[in-house]
């Protein structure tokens, strides 16, 4: 059985393509993604609103120069989960109108309303994944950490450990590809010993997976301990007295990009209200 987890998991990876979006201030990209995610929730079931958001996707793809195949590759692992949720959304849609119902048996039914809501759910999940993954593709983790720390700087007056929280989030994202590579290495090692994860009953498969999860967690805790020791050896004390090697600058291009994203988000929400 061929196992290539690292090829299919692209979340958290940075692509240095030097596009105009890559050169934007990280705060601009964070606020822009937040606006687009908010618009994704507010458009509801309006396909007209989603059409504008899909237009924003096409614009970002064109300007960022990110290969479409690379983006779709990261969605492969989500496809099966989204398909299962789509089936449940269609079969268990509450109170479908009799005129739109094709088939019904007890609480299970297939209707036009359920199919439309299932499609809306799939589009919404794909958009949310695209916004967050694209932010990782075009922003280095350290720039993302600096942007979040500057944006949450007012919380320091309330004694919120902003630097520590941002550092934990960045480290967690950094560990994603490391843990994926560790899983791939463990699975290949077990397969080389004759283990077959696609054979046997459900209980046997769960036992085989358990044999991978235990060493995975042990190795993850070991990595965390090594990282803690390294940070203590370098006298890490949070954000107290720290200076920045590179100061963030909000330029005219950032203002234009943020204005364009705001217009797209507001336009999608407004159109969803006009064309339900």
Which contiguous run of DSSP H or E holds residue 101? strand 101-105
Furthest C-alpha separation in the chain? 69
| Cα 247 to Cα 162: distance, rounded to the nearest angstrom | 17
- Cα–Cα distance list, 246 to 25, 143, 262 (Å): 12, 9, 27
Checking if the pLDDT of 198 tops 70, the result is no
219 CB neighbour count, 10 Å cutoff? 16
Query: Which residue did the predictor score with more confidence, 59 or 187?
Result: 59
Mean pLDDT of 149-154: 85
Query: 25 and 147 in contact (C-beta within 8 Å)?
Result: yes
Which pLDDT score, from 0 to 100, does residue 2 have? 44
Residue 168 clears pLDDT 70, i.e. is over it: yes
Element (H, E) at 111: strand 108-111
**Nearest one of 148, 147, 138 to 248, comparing CA atoms:** 147
Quote the pLDDT of residue 1.
44
For the residues 84-93, what does the mean pLDDT come to? Answer: 80
- How do residues 213-242 score in pLDDT, each as one tens digit? 788 888 888 888 888 888 888 777 766 666
pLDDT band at residue 194 under the 50/70/90 scheme: confident
Regarding pTM above 0.75, the answer is yes
109 CB neighbour count, 10 Å cutoff = 20
Structure tokens at 61: 């793809």
State in Å, rounded, how far the first CA of the chain is from the last one.
Answer: 48
């Amino acid at each position: 059985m061929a196992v290539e987890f690292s090829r299919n998991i692209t979340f958290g990876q940075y692509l240095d393509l030097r596009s105009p979006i890559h050169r934007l201030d990280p705060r601009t990209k964070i606020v822009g993604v937040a606006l687009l995610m908010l618009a994704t929730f507010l458009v509801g079931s309006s396909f007209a609103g989603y059409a504008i958001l899909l237009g924003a996707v096409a614009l970002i793809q064109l300007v960022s120069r990110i290969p479409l195949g690379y983006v779709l590759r990261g969605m492969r692992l989500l496809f099966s989960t989204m398909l299962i949720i789509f089936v449940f959304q269609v079969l268990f849609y509450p109170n479908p109108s009799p005129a739109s119902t094709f088939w019904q048996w007890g609480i299970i039914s297939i209707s036009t309303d359920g199919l439309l809501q299932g499609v809306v759910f799939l589009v919404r999940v794909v958009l949310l994944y695209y916004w967050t993954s694209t932010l990782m593709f075009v922003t280095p983790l350290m720039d993302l950490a600096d942007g979040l720390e500057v944006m949450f700087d007012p919380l320091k007056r309330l004694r919120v450990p902003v630097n520590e929280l941002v550092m934990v989030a960045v480290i967690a994202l950094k560990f994603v590809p490391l843990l994926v590579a560790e899983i791939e290495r463990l699975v290949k090692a077990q397969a080389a010993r004759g283990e077959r994860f696609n054979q046997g009953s459900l209980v046997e498969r769960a036992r085989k997976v358990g044999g991978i999860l235990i060493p995975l967690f042990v190795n993850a805790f070991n990595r965390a301990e090594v990282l803690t020791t390294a940070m203590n050896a370098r006298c890490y004390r949070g954000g107290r007295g720290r200076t920045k090697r590179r100061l963030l600058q909000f330029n005219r291009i950032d203002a234009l990009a943020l204005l364009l994203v705001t217009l797209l988000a507001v336009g999608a929400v407004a159109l969803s209200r006009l064309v339900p």
